[in-house]
Amino acid sequence: MTATFTASDAAQMRALARDVLAPHLRAGDVVLLTGDLGAGKTTFTQGLGDALGVRGPIASPTFIIARTHPSEVGGPALIHVDAYRLNSLAELDDLDLDATVDDAVTVVEWGEDRAEQLSEDRVHVVIARTRGGQVDMERPDEGDRTVAFTLFGERWSGVSLVG
């Protein structure tokens, strides 16, 4: 199923992550984020991190590929990956991440077409400007974003995401 929401600013984007997706997440889950530069992928991940109670700050991991944020509440860690410069993430476990995909919630920016191998059970989140076009990085705060969630695999069957 696909469920679509709108976020008109960064706070709403974090709230969407926290209220719509995070309550369903548990260890082993994989979330792939798609959207242009500045769409709001990291902002969305920050909302997930807040909700999961992991140690922050969550920032764009562009220069390090992946970072593990341990839980501060005895739950799963958050593995935050930036796949922008990678061709495939077949062996994410080869990275020295202090956590494995099975034990953590793994969120991959630019994950579509790169990180599907991580799991058959996945959430794809596609973020786009409601008006279309690229984000003007001089004025990233302009423009609502649509956020479309699509659920794949047995693990997500019967789950419906509501705002």
Look at residue 151 and give the partner it binds from ligand ATP, Mg ion, none, a contact being a CB closer than 5 to 8 Å depending on partner kind.
none
Do β-strands 78-82 and 2-7 pair in parallel, antiparallel, or remain unpaired?
unpaired
CB of 102 to ligand ATP, least distance (A): 25
CB of 127 to ligand ATP, least distance (A): 7
Total residues at the site for Mg ion (CB under 5 A)? Answer: 4
In this chain, which residue has its C-beta nearest to ligand ATP? 40
Q: Residue 13: which of ligand ATP, Mg ion, none does it interact with, CB under 5 to 8 A by kind?
A: ligand ATP
- CA-CA distance, 106 to 89, in Å (whole number)? 12
For 49, 101, 113, 129, 157, the CA distances from 69, given in Å and listed in that order, are: 8, 13, 24, 28, 28
| Residue number, 115 or 156, with CB nearest to ligand ATP | 115
Distance in Å, CB of 13 to ligand ATP, minimum: 3
Distances (CA, A) of 8 to 23, 36, 126: 21, 16, 15
Query: What element of type H or E holds 10?
Result: helix 10-16
Alpha carbons 40 and 79: distance in angstroms, whole number: 17
Where do contacts with ligand ATP occur on this chain (CB under 6 A)?
7-10, 13, 35, 37-43, 60, 109, 140-141, 144-145
Residue 40 beta carbon to Mg ion: minimum distance, rounded to whole angstroms: 8
Helix, strand, coil percentages in the chain from 3-state DSSP, rounded to 5: 20, 25, 50
Report 8-47 residues binding Mg ion (CB under 5 A): 41-42
Of 13 and 66, nearer to ligand ATP (C-beta) is 13
- The residues binding Mg ion (CB under 5 A) are 41-42, 60, 109
